[in-house]
Amino acid sequence: MALSEDDVRQLAKLARLQLSDEEVHGIAPQLESILGFVQQLSELDTDDVQPMTTALDVENRWRDDQVQPSLGTDVAVRMAPSSDGEHFLVPPVLGAGGTRK
């Protein structure tokens, strides 16, 4: 399967990757190889194969949830690097501006 540069750039955009022209040329053969392998897999007869979440036959080994004592709000806020006494103060993640609650 031959991929055009536009195909590679579209895939990069969907993956939120910024690729240089050199990277586009370098990654195209790798993507073609991966897609060729996926094409081979799609030709397999899987009608009698049961769906599974893992290749190993394992059981969930998580413990049961149990109510445990936890920190009170006053202790947690007091130990925070930055607070206003009632809330954690954190820098904004999106956009610009000052510290928000």
pLDDT digits (tens, 9 = 90+) for 8-28: 999 999 999 999 999 999 999
pLDDT digits (tens, 9 = 90+) for 87-96: 999 988 876 6
**Do 82 and 99 contact (CB within 8 A), yes or no?**
yes
**Do 33 and 5 contact (CB within 8 A), yes or no?**
no
pLDDT the model gives residue 96: 61
Residue entry with tokens 């750039």: 9
Q: Output the six-digit token pair for 19.
A: 């690729």
Q: Output the six-digit token pair for 81.
A: 């690097």
- Percentage of residues in the chain with pLDDT exceeding 90? 53
Cα 1–Cα 6–Cα 31 angle in degrees, nearest 5: 40
Whether the predicted model's global pTM rises above the 0.75 cut:
no
pLDDT digits (tens, 9 = 90+) for 50-72: 888 888 877 777 888 889 999 89
CA dist., res. 5 & res. 25, Å (int)? 7
**Do 43 and 20 contact (CB within 8 A), yes or no?**
no
Mean pLDDT of the chain: 87
Q: Give the residue among 1, 80, 58, 66 at the shortest CA–CA distance from 35.
A: 1
